[in-house]
Structure 1
Amino acid sequence: MSLPLIGAVVPAHDEEALLAECLDGLRVAAGAVADRARVRVLVVADACTDGTAEVARAGGADVLLLGARNVGCARAAGAAALLSAYEPAGWLATTDADSVVPPDWLAAQLGAWEAGAAAWVGTVEVLDWAGLPRAVHARYRAQYDDHGEAGGPGDAHRHVHGASLGVAAAAYRAVGGFPPLATGEDVALVARLDRAGLPVVRDGAHPVATSARTDGRAPDGFAGHLRGIVRSVFTAPSGSPLGTPCPEARRGDSGPAARIS
């Protein structure tokens, strides 16, 4: 009996500088589950003008060329390709080209899948804050931590990040997949899963390392969130506390698929 297949989707727009490290992380994570699953990595090179596709191939990934310049379209196209392949994936994982998954990232998702989860929602962390003031890091950490516990084991946060997300193929198809949004396609997918009453594991124990760049590839995505923190830090009245979060203003909604990203 063959091992189950996990498809890992990496949308990328002009990411030749960071993609190799992303793929290195996925390679290590795939090795950690080699006795339980096979992993196929697909980089969706979306409207690239640099060597992203070449870096992807050199890193052992398959490449899908796209001209949408839209991260929702890119994630959806990658998922569709993996689900319609000669041997379709049974589980889809997705991360971002400027992010590095931890060694146990796929193992955590595989465990959730084996336990009957329809999806797995992870967290991110910024390891290198070079170029940004310490106050920005402090404000970000306070806001991120403020999400707090959501009510029980396996449900430890309410963040949603396309950089750390997995979903069973059947559940993905059932809710219509990623919508073609320029921003928020990840939140929209998880919201669909929640509305359908499907079991979603929210796991904060395996954070993905992501970049602290404020010039991101998706409008109002994680980089946009960091830009907002920079603005709030430098426009805060003198002497005001930098660590006082306002959750509802950050999230935009208070439902299960709320996020900071």
Structure 2
Amino acid sequence: MKIAIVIPAHNEAMTIASCLASVQTAIEQLPNSITAYPLVVLDGCTDDTLAIVEAADVDYICCDYQCVGQVRDMGIRHAIAQGATWIACTDADSVMTADWLMQQVTHITQQPTDMICGVVDVDNWAHLTLKTQADYIAHYQDMMGHRHIHGANLSFSGEAYTAVGGFAPLPCHEDVDLVKKFEDHGYAITWSNKVRVITSSRLDARANEGFADFLANLEKRNL
């Protein structure tokens, strides 16, 4: 198995180093029989993101789409062309748990699956109201069989990805659209709370209607 961890990044100089360090830690937990590597897709970056990625000696490609669906798809197709058989998607403002990749491999080994939808933990509630935190926790299903979809924690077979046509060129909800394609084609999907990432609670969204927008709107209702 060859795993590519595809990470879109648009001006993520404040977060990309922590993201890449956590990915490396997750890779180190894998057995020697599995190859894994990160691939950063730099999307119109004007800050120091590129320099940080280069300093980390991580593979990267560049584009200027300003469209997360296109950015993810470009990176994934590049990875598949390089021989990746399993794709793990995350975001540059997220940090992986140490067993993030190992849990994916365990799911694949125990009960073959074509896609894994994982869960996210919020990194910091300090700047948000207690009501926002309570509302979020009440809404979120942190359990096996949940139905949450996060581009920051979505992994799948490269073969199945190609077969369904991949991520659509959407500026938001590209992850929901891809999961629906897998469902429509009858692929097996595992909804796991064992595959976890910690994601940023920032409210300045990189993508409209993404996770940051969700938190921001929740906070507005509670102010």
CA offsets per residue over residues 164-188 of structure 1, 9 Å max, x none?
1100011101111111110011111
Match of 1:144 in 2: 140
1:126 aligns with 2:115: no
CA offsets per residue over residues 30-87 of structure 1, 9 Å max, x none?
00014231112100010110111111122232111110011111100100110112xx
Q: For residues 73 and 183 of structure 1, what CA distance do their matches in structure 2 show?
A: 10
Match of 1:224 in 2: 213
1:103 aligns with 2:92: no
Which residues in structure 2 correspond to 1:1-261 (within 5 Å)?
Answer: 4-85=1-82, 88-114=83-109, 115-145=111-141, 155-234=144-223
Name the count of aligned residue pairs: 222
Give unmatched runs, 5+ long, in structure 1. Answer: 150-154, 235-261
CA contact (8 A) 2:40 2:59 kept: yes
CA contact (8 A) 1:16 1:52 kept: yes
Q: For residues 170 and 206 of structure 1, what CA distance do their matches in structure 2 show?
A: 21
CA contact (8 A) 2:116 2:155 kept: yes
Q: For residues 157 and 220 of structure 2, what CA distance do their matches in structure 1 show?
A: 38
Residue type at the aligned position of 1:30: I
How big is the alpha-carbon RMSD for the aligned residues of Structure 1 and Structure 2?
1.3
Residue type at the aligned position of 1:80: R
Answer with 1 or 2: which has the greater Rg. Answer: 1
CA contact (8 A) 1:113 1:168 kept: no
Residue type at the aligned position of 2:186: G
Q: TM-score, normalised by structure 1?
A: 0.82
Q: TM-score, normalised by structure 2?
A: 0.95
Q: For residues 216 and 80 of structure 1, what CA distance do their matches in structure 2 show?
A: 25
Q: Larger relative CO (CA 8 A, sep 6+): 1 or 2? A: 2
CA offsets per residue over residues 98-140 of structure 1, 9 Å max, x none?
0001011111112233332101110101031121122211111
